[in-house]
Structure 1
């Protein structure tokens, strides 16, 4: 895309490593593109590199999740440590390091996905000459499916951070992001930003392609019951593809489609509802829980240490706002995940053997149920909304039946706004939720009130703009900052 992104353009295979920075790559990892995908193992390595980029602190491993709470009314950064303080107080510039990392991290995922898709498809065209087994061919098709879905996820994050929101029923001609389709963008190529409408069109195409390629895996499994290809919740499985489709369609206000996709995700996940005890314990374990649809796997050999969410809310002393804590009734079991004296959230306090290790949920069953609850309410179907909402609402043990929930669509929607804050605190949903709904919120720990976050847009990092390869800045982004 440009000089700055030359660091990751041309690095299609990033092996799993313990380096502290994606830019610090060993020589053996710098493989020429034409030699990168000669075997099924090469493609699998490319996929592993994409998952590593997704879970690195630049992107979903910390910064995207942290921004979702710090830029809204859920969390407060510590002025003494300064970590995420500029995002929290809205006194950043277009040189802000954390925004730069999100931009870089998102495009690392997109670039590696695009290259891995191309490499895998190339191998499939010569599968007979390579004497690939049926399972090897199906594995390549699985890798392609995962790449399309993860690329769509990264596109959706980037367009919601660096572009004005999608608005249903409008042209959505506002600037979106730079897209890749069949081919990656090579160094020094002139590019231009798509519109938001074009960006969402590609996101939906990528999701559709992810499902289409996964169909080949389904067909293989039907014919090979003794040698299945199964993706657990650490990978972009079929349920996770539907979960992504549900989230994207909720943002687009395609409520009927969001309901179908969310329901499909829950059915395919085929998990039992978690008990209150299990729900509380799952946050201190790296094992897959029945809540997980897709989670970023972390281990003691693969953690982000000082750059983890654990450390941001631990040693760096970020905390929740008192406004979000006050949303919990005393009978809500989720309140046990908060130190109400210090306002410290405990979801990412680590596992018993390591305080710097936690899996990072991307899609959970609870999100799918709340998507259905909101979508049904917006369509005026009160009873179905109540049924879906009860799944999480009953974590307040005073709520036992749908009769304990609001009885109007308007009341349900107001309840769901707060329920999403109760369910997803520290997981990075709040800023994105307020932005998609147009809710006016208080930010910077109450320093700015009635902030229209839907009218706000972050700047494209100056290093990208100044490279001169065609990426244009969001015009007048400074004027969208909150004001007293």
Structure 2
């Protein structure tokens, strides 16, 4: 059974930007079981609840994308991180459970809005359209992450408790069709943003047409619809709403940069960077990567980021000789700070990814050279990173260059495992990385607690 339905869950409604308030009214506490949407004044609190639920997916999604892959090695005593680092993942892993909970919490609040808001005729039409579009986008995003993490998953479209207790898994293709429908519906009614003159925090915090098009570009890349992926990435790049940071180090050390397309923020009183997430219970990224260093960058990743090809992107990690002992290589991830630092947010999409999506889509279509070729897109990022330019090569070589560039550019942004699986490279890369790797790890297990509570669910093979 999907546990957010049976148990009362606390959503802390906060300002979505680090150390500042970006949504009104002031932060309040709201129980999911007591969500109220009866009059216009209820819309903003429930909307904030939607964004807060959406935010709860972010940290466990980073853990799924990077801890499952070849970026980390276990370095502490936490069982969950030891399982991920040694590639012995089980259905009782806390991160596996935390991501599932975050996904379905977001879906629940989105469904609540989609059920109740259309009936509130006293809400201004523009407000109703925008909030409904935000709900459709976030439900689509959650289901997109869900199918690429767990495979076939339950499709939950209502808040009916009795109906939701025995929903079986549906085929991945059917779920992806519903994701596309949600994204397209959202795109129609999300507000337009026409230039970068709007505050960068607003552009990255609130949903708009351009960041919805960015999500669609990623969707089509995963679907291998190269033409659509290229087209939508180009729309985002050419929009002028987002701009590459001059220095890559700002991506590591600052929140809400000019190239952040979608970013979830935290404030001083509610920051999972240094403690467990108050909703999912998932350990914070700063706690795992910096404070306790339960996982550290793998030797392979360190070697990649220190290469000439990575350029200034080596600033993603830092070295301390005093920590180098035994199996500890002395390296630490710098990307996630504490609540008092200016880099404790989690970036879900940024402009550099759009260049990488377009480069891969163009390479897959044989568009390698020239101003509209894949190599030109890669060299935009290499120039920013002060790395040597790529010269012309065969299609297979350019695609491998794209894979390497995604490692340099997106390290610890939650994409590596998903990249390896979607490109069919997981078995080759991961079996060379760990003797414990098994093809079953191309999907995470369904959380054991869900299997026990919902008799309609079946476990993924091998778990």
Which TM-score bucket, shorter chain as reference? 0.7 to 0.9
TM-score norm. by structure 1 comes to 0.80
Task: State the secondary structure of the residue aligned to 2:453.
Answer: coil
Relative to structure 1, the CA distance from residue 431 to residue 28 in structure 2 (aligned partners, 3 Å threshold; closer, same or farther) is closer
Relative to structure 1, the CA distance from residue 395 to residue 76 in structure 2 (aligned partners, 3 Å threshold; closer, same or farther) is farther
Pick aligned residue for 2:103 from 77, 83, 106: 106
Relative to structure 1, the CA distance from residue 210 to residue 27 in structure 2 (aligned partners, 3 Å threshold; closer, same or farther) is closer
CA contact (8 A) 1:443 1:449 kept: no
Number of aligned residue pairs: give it: 422
Q: What are the residue-to-residue correspondences of 1:18-417 with 2, within 5 Å? A: 29=31, 32=34, 36-56=36-56, 59-60=57-58, 62-82=59-79, 84-123=81-120, 126=121, 130=122, 132=123, 136-163=124-151, 176-181=152-157, 183-187=158-162, 189-214=165-190, 217-218=191-192, 232-268=203-239, 270-276=241-247, 279-286=248-255, 288-304=256-272, 305-306=274-275, 307-317=283-293, 318-328=295-305, 329-330=307-308, 332-340=311-319, 342-350=330-338, 353-354=340-341, 358-383=344-369, 384-400=373-389, 404-417=390-403
CA contact (8 A) 1:114 1:184 kept: yes
Q: Deviations over 1:296-347 (max 9, x none)?
A: 1122233112232111111221211121222233471111232245221211
Q: Deviations over 1:241-273 (max 9, x none)?
A: 011101111111011111111122223352333
Give the distance between the partners of 2:4 and 2:12, measured in 1 at CA: 21
Offset, 1:79: 3.6
Offset, 1:16: 0.6
Q: Deviations over 1:167-218 (max 9, x none)?
A: xxxxxxxxx111133x33424643121101101100100111111222xx45
Offset, 1:469: 4.7
Give the distance between the partners of 1:390 and 1:411, measured in 2 at CA: 15
Stretches of 4+ aligned residues off by more than 6 angstroms = none
Give the distance between the partners of 2:53 and 2:166, measured in 1 at CA: 24
Give the distance between the partners of 2:169 and 2:334, measured in 1 at CA: 39
Task: State the secondary structure of the residue aligned to 2:182.
Answer: helix
Task: State the secondary structure of the residue aligned to 1:386.
Answer: helix
CA contact (8 A) 2:11 2:29 kept: no
Q: Which runs of 5+ in 2 are unaligned?
A: 16-27, 195-200, 276-282, 321-329
- RMSD over aligned Cα atoms: 2.9
Q: Deviations over 1:432-464 (max 9, x none)?
A: 0000011034549933277557x7322211211
Give the distance between the partners of 1:257 and 1:204, measured in 2 at CA: 13
Q: Which runs of 5+ in 1 are unaligned?
A: 19-25, 164-175, 223-229, 479-484
Task: State the secondary structure of the residue aligned to 1:245.
Answer: helix
Give the distance between the partners of 1:63 and 1:28, measured in 2 at CA: 22
2:439 pairs with 1:437: no
